[in-house]
Amino acid sequence: MHLLTASNLSVFRGERLVLSNVGFSLQAGGILVLRGENGAGKSTLLRTLAGLIPLAAGELKWDNEDALNDLPSHAKRIAWLGHLDAVKPALTAAEHVPAAALAPVGLSAYAELPARLLSAGQKRRLAIARVAAAGRPLWLLDEPTTGLDAASVLRFLALCETHRQGGGMIIASTHIPLELSGVQVLTL
């Protein structure tokens, strides 16, 4: 049973203190939703948790050990979905993720289609499929439902539930309520 603990996190972006004394604790199977106005620091917090932005102060612990001490090892715990899809137009959907991972997001029919021909919502679904296929315990998701239609949001929620039931953790910034039980909310 993994445990992620953040205490007194403070982060600067340039000269600006974006996050100050942020803390939370998340156990295996937990979901933490980040809320806040635009510019409140949701994306910054996610990038900090991923180790992409250094901490100015505070601690991030994974199973009571400093998580950011060894960034490559920490990265292997993380499945990342940024606000950009990181989809390569020249590759097919099946070249981005294993073909079996496309079914849960409803993209099986598009497996051999170059990603440049996918719609914005389909690219987002492909990015979600990559997260689900990564097999990593901690999902960090920045506005994961952007561009998704209602049916795709339901598929996404089902993937989240499966991940959670498997002992995974999810930290997501989102403007829409996640219709999942036991969701923690952190307002920035």
Interface contacts to other proteins, rule CB under 8 A: 13, 47, 50-54, 71-73, 75-76, 78, 80, 82-88, 90-91, 95
Residue 8 backbone class (left: φ over 0; alpha: ψ -120 to 50; beta: rest): left
* Cβ distance to other proteins smaller for residue 66 or 179: 66
* Cβ distance to other proteins smaller for residue 120 or 185: 120
* The pair of three-digit structure tokens given for residue 105, joined into one six-digit string: 């997001």
| CA angle (154, 103, 108) in 5-degree steps | 120
Quote the least distance from Cβ 179 to other proteins, whole Å. Answer: 27
Quote the least distance from Cβ 171 to other proteins, whole Å. Answer: 14
From the list 73, 152, 79, the residue with the least C-alpha distance to 118 is 152
H or E element, residue 28? none
Quote the least distance from Cβ 140 to other proteins, whole Å. Answer: 9
* Cβ distance to other proteins smaller for residue 76 or 175: 76
Asked if 106 contacts 85 with a C-beta cutoff of 8 angstroms, the reply is no
* Cβ distance to other proteins smaller for residue 105 or 142: 142
Quote the least distance from Cβ 70 to other proteins, whole Å. Answer: 10
* The pair of three-digit structure tokens given for residue 68, joined into one six-digit string: 């950011």
